[in-house]
Amino acid sequence: MSAAITHEELHGEAHDHAHEAHPKQSFIYKYIFSTDHKVIGIQYGLTSLVFLLAGFFLMMVMRWSIAYPDKPMPLIGAFLGDRWAPGGVVSPELYNMFGAMHGTIMVFLGVVPLAFGAFGNYLVPLQIGAIDMAFPKLNAWSYWLNLIGGVLMMMSFFMPSGAAQSGWTNYSPLASTTQMDVKDVFFSGQTQWLMAMVFLISSSLLGSVNIITTIINLRCKGMTWMRMPFFVWGMLVTAFLLLLAFPPLEVAAVLQLFDRLFGSSFFLPTGLLDSNRHLDIAGGGSPLLYQHLFWFLAHPEVYVLILPAFCIVSDIIPCNIRRPLWGHKTMVYAALVLGFFSFIVWAHHMYLTGMGAVVSTFFQITTVSISVPSVVLLTCLMISLWGGSIRFNTPMLFACAFLPMFGIGGLTGLPLAFSMTDLFLHDTYYVIGHFHYVVAPGTIFALFAGIYHWYPKITGRFMNETLGRLHFWPSLICMNFLFAPMFIQGLAGFHRRWYNGGMAFEDTTRHLLWLNEVMSIAAWCLALSQIPFILNVFLSIKGGKKVTCDNPWHATTLEWATPTPPGHGNFNFEPVVHRGPYEYSVPGASTDYTPQWLAEGEVPEEKLTHAEH
């Protein structure tokens, strides 16, 4: 872990490259097939933002169908094609397709790559004072595998069968038996979903191995475990979750692929029928096995979605309240406990399949237990605010909104944790409301906060505050009009995945159908509220207010010690860490921030430097 040697090595290497490198080739290797963690982080970030937008677009089409079923969709309807939307009317098939792909894209191609791929890649080496990731080439592979997976996923929309239509969970036998009547089963959406997942999972595995090794081996001098920012700790736990939870899903995907392509029946029971015909299979398989493999991944995956959000918020809050994070150590332990427990709660997604008292007792106890570290994390962040001097800039607004919004998401998980109340609410809109509060105004708000916060380090310019507020307030309001009514509908018995929003079940739904319209309008307004953000991201690159020093927020963690923007090799000096990560407003200090890299007795200087390489 000798940073001195690695720095010298890198400097030497970089000089050699500078002499040898062909100028044209160097552009491609510098910006496209780069092995620099920062470039890869930005690549991950831009790709996943595009996918987030794509996933959001699918949802807007679905919301039309829910609110105005069997009516032609204006503007967009004409472009959906007669096969899927005859006369511009969204068909149930198209709805199911968009539903499955909305979930898949948002989780596997949007939020996780942005949270873990982009933020993890860009910031973890900087925050621990490393020159790059431990395995830069694997890192590049991780990004490119992710992109291949994403492109496969999107290409499946244009296949004769259309994309996958069996929910993001892709349960067998539905997923194994649909789209089997096409000319070539390999080129069907359901099969391509599995192929794409294999690429995405491989990408995640490479990324997680890299993050773990980097954090363990490449911390700079003085960066002891408890001096690591919570951000790095959270990413470490997230990486372990990805590393250990994803392989079972990869197995499930491969086995389901066999069931589809080679006539095996890992997940297909004896005597299975489709449209009253016995399928030509050996049988003996178990649909429940697929669910176990899937949820063994997908529950830890939930924490993969949440922990990076906590990571980001726990950096932004101390910086903007000018006082230390309250309970840094407690939060670290809570994240570790959370990570461990996330592996033993998966069957709470399966109460409906029927289980005995012993199994259900086990999973109810573990599920309720996991709420404890979650509450600890949230409580620490909230208590941190007490005694602060809060400056409400755009990143802080998003970080502050994260707290109560994630709170709603967490609290509404309670009735779902207990098996008997879950039976009543499972697969209803209550569940949809619950996890969207966790992920959308929860995680995605934290991700927005992170983009606004670290943008000046990446580009050397601030994002526009007015546009930021125009992004924040409408988003917050629309999110709540979109997701809060879901709880009401869910309690009334509205089930998910109805293309017509519940028209067929009038006795159950009649009195609350009007909420569908409210939610859909909120969804479209939410889309409009993203325009200021998109403009802001692009216009600020050239037009944003320039930063005047490397540490414009007066923060304390190591990424702010780098030149703006950080160059190849990250630091212009050899970073040494002298203290914990959140030393704000230290009594007796000359400034209200005492950065980690500042030697005893020194005063932080405000200067703008440029990368040497």
Partner 1 sequence: MFALITSLNNLLGVPGLASEHGEMVDHMLGLIQWFMLLLFVGWSTFLAIVFTKFRKSNNPNADYIGVRGHASTHIEIGVVIVEIILLLGFAIPLWSTQSEQYPMGPDVVKLRAVGEKFNWSFQYAGLDGNLGNQELRFVNTSAGNMIGRDLKDPNGKDDFVKSGEMTIPVGRPIIIDVTSKDVIHNLALVPMRIAQDATPGVRAHIWFRPTKTGEWDIICGQLCGVGHSGMKAKLTVVSEKEFDAFLKDNSEEAIKASAAQPAPLASR
Shortest Cβ 360–partner 1 spacing (Å): 5
Binding residues among 413-432 for partner 1 as defined by CB under 8 A? 414-415, 418-421, 423-424, 426-428
Binding residues among 470-489 for partner 1 as defined by CB under 8 A? 487-488
For residue 428, the SS3 value is strand
Quick check: 29 binds partner 1 (CB under 8 A)?
Answer: no
Quick check: 371 binds partner 1 (CB under 8 A)?
Answer: yes
- Under DSSP, the state recorded for 13 is H
Q: How far is residue 439 from each of residues 215, 303, 309, 380, 391, measured CA to CA in Å?
A: 26, 10, 9, 20, 25
Q: How far is residue 26 from each of residues 22, 23, 147, 568, measured CA to CA in Å?
A: 6, 5, 22, 13
Contact pattern from residue 495 through residue 514 relative to partner 1, giving x for each residue in contact according to CB under 8 A and a dash for the rest: xxxxxx-xxxx-xx--xx--
- Count of residues that bind partner 1 according to CB under 8 A: 99
Binding residues among 382-401 for partner 1 as defined by CB under 8 A? 382-392, 400
Which of 10, 76, 254, 288 is in the footprint of partner 1 by CB under 8 A?
288
Quick check: 282 binds partner 1 (CB under 8 A)?
Answer: no
Quick check: 530 binds partner 1 (CB under 8 A)?
Answer: no
Which of 276, 280, 590, 600 is in the footprint of partner 1 by CB under 8 A?
276
Which of 159, 293, 403, 547 is in the footprint of partner 1 by CB under 8 A?
403
Shortest Cβ 541–partner 1 spacing (Å): 29
Binding residues among 148-187 for partner 1 as defined by CB under 8 A? 165-167, 171, 173-174, 177-178
Beta strands in 548-589 (DSSP E): none
Own/partner long-range contacts of 582-586 (Cβ < 8 Å, ≥24 apart): 582/229, 582/318, 582/324, 582/325, 582/328, 582/556, 583/324, 583/556, 584/318, 584/319, 584/321, 584/322, 584/323, 584/324, 584/556, 585/322, 585/323, 585/389
Q: Is 262 exposed, middle or buried (0-12, 13-18, 19+ CB in 10 A)?
A: exposed
Per DSSP bridges, beta strands 277-278 and 273-274 are: antiparallel
Binding residues among 82-121 for partner 1 as defined by CB under 8 A? 92-93, 96
Cβ neighbour number for residue 269 with a 10 Å cutoff: 15
> Which residue stretch of 217-225, 233-241, 268-276, 573-581 sits at the interface with partner 1 (rule: CB under 8 A)?
268-276
DSSP 59-70: HHHHHHHHHSTT
Quick check: 243 binds partner 1 (CB under 8 A)?
Answer: no
Binding residues among 301-340 for partner 1 as defined by CB under 8 A? 321-324, 326
Shortest Cβ 518–partner 1 spacing (Å): 15
Amino acid residing at 190: Q
In whole angstroms, give the CA distance from residue 355 to residue 130. Answer: 49
Which of 182, 368, 513, 525 is in the footprint of partner 1 by CB under 8 A?
368
Burial annotation 209-221 (CB, 10 A radius, 16+ → b, else e): bbbbebbeebbbe
Judged by CB, which is closer to partner 1: 34, or 489?
489
Which of 222, 247, 404, 565 is in the footprint of partner 1 by CB under 8 A?
404
> Which residue stretch of 25-33, 153-161, 246-254, 357-365 sits at the interface with partner 1 (rule: CB under 8 A)?
357-365
